[in-house]
Amino acid sequence: MKKKFYITTPIYYPSAEAHIGHAYCTTMCDILARYKRMRGVETYFLTGTDEHGQKIQTKAAEKGVTPQEYVDEIAAKFQDLWKAMRISNDDFIRTTQERHVRVVQDIFTHFLKNDDIYLGKYEGWYCTPCESFWTETQVGEEHLCPDCHRPVHRDSEEAYFFKMQKYLPDLMKLMDENPKFILPISRKNEMMNTFINKGLDDLCVSRTSFDWGIQIRENPKHVIYVWLDALTNYITALGYDSKDDSLFKKFWEDPDCEIVHIVGADISRFHVIYWPMFLKGLGLRMPDRVFVHGLLDLNGEKMSKSRGNVVSPIPLIERYGVDPVRWFLAKEFSFGTNGRFSSELFAERTNTDLANNYGNLISRTVSMISKYFEGVVPELKNPGEKEENIRVLTEKTISQYEALMDDLKPTEALECVMELLNVANKYIEETQPWVLAKEGKTEELGNVMAVLTNTILVSTKLLSPVLVESAPKVYSSFGVPEELQKYETIHQFCPYAKLKVEKGAALFPRLDVKVETEYIDSISK
């Protein structure tokens, strides 16, 4: 594991307010960032908004405001949502900020001087929502955008082009030598078959038909095409080409820093084809991995503001707390596959994992320690075979969890922890503490309480990147001092003797699935 970690979300296009689909990607990045920090890795986490383009200009005109006023309002709502979701980003980049605009102009100038860009004329099929030009073959007989499947229109204008063929050999070498550069591996095959093998046209990198964008210094009637503008945020946010480039040196230039971009499937080609070429043209290192997550739909249909079928996380957080929302996003489906949000799935996942498994184990354990040991966690003495088996399983769980998280598989990592909690619940039924107490087997009963406490607190630490509000409550309930909350403590077995437990309200009250399903359906719009 490298000593530093730089993780980014895509910068979101603020043509409409954020919904749970945006929250999914950002939450998964947040979980990985929190995990790395928990392991002692110096971490930088970036998110933001991509604020230029024809679509923004059109939306602003429809609303009777300037494009800047329009994006200011929506960008603020994105930031408010990330606060509500307890996102721990270190920076929020906006492509209308001066720190970004100036550097993008410098980058364009560099490409011109380096003969990476030339002035020509574009004639082709254009998709306004995606801000993308497409060839006749790509749009097919129905003339639909290959990405969003909306109608495209013929367009022709003077434009600058980036020479794709110049850097294609470098891109192919990168893909061949780094099998984990694009994950999941199916995405690499998709890029090869859909785009690269069919031939890459030079990329249009300027527009003249609208003016809401970054002007090209050398030819001000042109604005820089949104993807050259947007993709470079990953380095402009770090201070590339600026007086203070300390963050850039620390998190981009240092080979001991792992760089990971998390992006949605709908924008994967821009990140795995164009972005490496831009970086090569600038003489900069490549990211270590571009991870393409799946898309989240609502009851089988793709979420879309225009379709009116999106879910805002805010009312969910207000009703259930932030942790169940974060948990559903992280746990319901494997990171990298498409997923589905439904009211019933949300309620059932909350009940199964959080109320019945984790929360119930905590409640039972605290109650038994209070009842049998006056609220003081007993010491582990002369552990038997069952205790030894759980010790071995705990170490195995920690090892698997770390390996999976480092491999960008948080869903599977969380599943390992839930299995450990399942075993702890079965351990209660096997040892029957109430019988041990009745028979006066105090030492055996104490061992059970010690092992249950250890399992709960180890699991709490491993789940803390997701359950950001619950973990401190569990530590408080068990009276865990700060020293014993450190990550290294989980490798000790039962170091929590003499802690004083305290009963509190149920961490995750069980939900009435029918009632909550009706409520969530009522706020889905």
CATH (domain of 404): 1.10.730.10
- Reported as a pLDDT band with limits 50, 70 and 90, residue 525 is low
Mean of per-residue pLDDT scores for the chain: 93
Residues 376 and 286 in one domain: no
Q: Pick the more confident residue, 225 or 35.
A: 35
Residue 418 lies in a domain: yes
CB-CB neighbours of 158 under 10 Å: 15
Domain CATH code at residue 91:
3.40.50.620
The yes-or-no verdict on residue 318 having pLDDT over 60 is yes
- Reported as a pLDDT band with limits 50, 70 and 90, residue 120 is very high
- Reported as a pLDDT band with limits 50, 70 and 90, residue 308 is low
Residues 285 and 402 in one domain: no
Q: Is 124 within 8 Å of 133 (Cβ atoms)?
A: yes
Last residue of a domain, one of 254, 277, 293: 293
Residues 276 and 403 in one domain: no
pLDDT 10s digits, 343-383: 999 999 999 999 999 999 999 999 999 999 999 999 999 99
pLDDT in the model for residue 133: 74
Residues 168 and 285 in one domain: yes
Residue 519 lies in a domain: no
Residues 149 and 254 in one domain: yes
Residue 160 lies in a domain: yes
The residue-averaged pLDDT of 259-279 equals 94
Helix axes 275-282, 164-177, angle to 10 degrees: 100
pLDDT in the model for residue 306: 53
pLDDT in the model for residue 335: 85
Q: Pick the more confident residue, 135 or 152.
A: 152
The yes-or-no verdict on residue 231 having pLDDT over 70 is yes
Q: Is 19 within 8 Å of 311 (Cβ atoms)?
A: yes
Residue 208 lies in a domain: yes
Report helix, strand or coil for 428.
helix
Residues 394 and 486 in one domain: yes
Q: What are phi and psi of 163, to 5 degrees?
A: -80, 100
**Edge-first strand listing for the sheet containing 301-302:** 301-302, 296-298, 339-341
pLDDT in the model for residue 301: 64
Q: Is 230 within 8 Å of 221 (Cβ atoms)?
A: no
Q: Is 523 within 8 Å of 311 (Cβ atoms)?
A: yes
- Reported as a pLDDT band with limits 50, 70 and 90, residue 186 is confident
* CA atoms of 521 and 513, how far apart (whole Å): 12
What letter does residue 141 receive in the DSSP assignment? Answer: T
pLDDT in the model for residue 277: 97
Residues 64 and 174 in one domain: yes
DSSP 244-308: --HHHIIIII-TTEEEEEEEEGGGHHIIIIIHHHHHHHHT-PPPSEEEEE--EEETTEE--TTTT
The yes-or-no verdict on residue 208 having pLDDT over 70 is yes
Residues 238 and 358 in one domain: no
Residue 515 lies in a domain: no
pLDDT in the model for residue 127: 87
Host domain of residue 414:
344-491
Pairing of strands 4-8, 42-49: parallel
- Reported as a pLDDT band with limits 50, 70 and 90, residue 225 is confident
- How many folded domains does the chain comprise? 2
Residue 13 lies in a domain: yes
Residue 223 lies in a domain: yes
- Number of residues written out for the chain: 525
Residues 143 and 18 in one domain: yes
pLDDT 10s digits, 42-77: 999 999 999 999 889 999 999 999 999 999 999 999
The yes-or-no verdict on residue 305 having pLDDT over 80 is no
pLDDT in the model for residue 130: 79
The yes-or-no verdict on residue 302 having pLDDT over 70 is no
Residues 280 and 352 in one domain: no
The residue-averaged pLDDT of 285-293 equals 96
Residue 305 lies in a domain: no
pTM attached to this predicted model:
0.93
Residues 121 and 212 in one domain: yes
- Reported as a pLDDT band with limits 50, 70 and 90, residue 452 is very high
CB-CB neighbours of 190 under 10 Å: 17
The yes-or-no verdict on residue 303 having pLDDT over 80 is no
* CA atoms of 491 and 487, how far apart (whole Å): 8
Residues 139 and 288 in one domain: yes
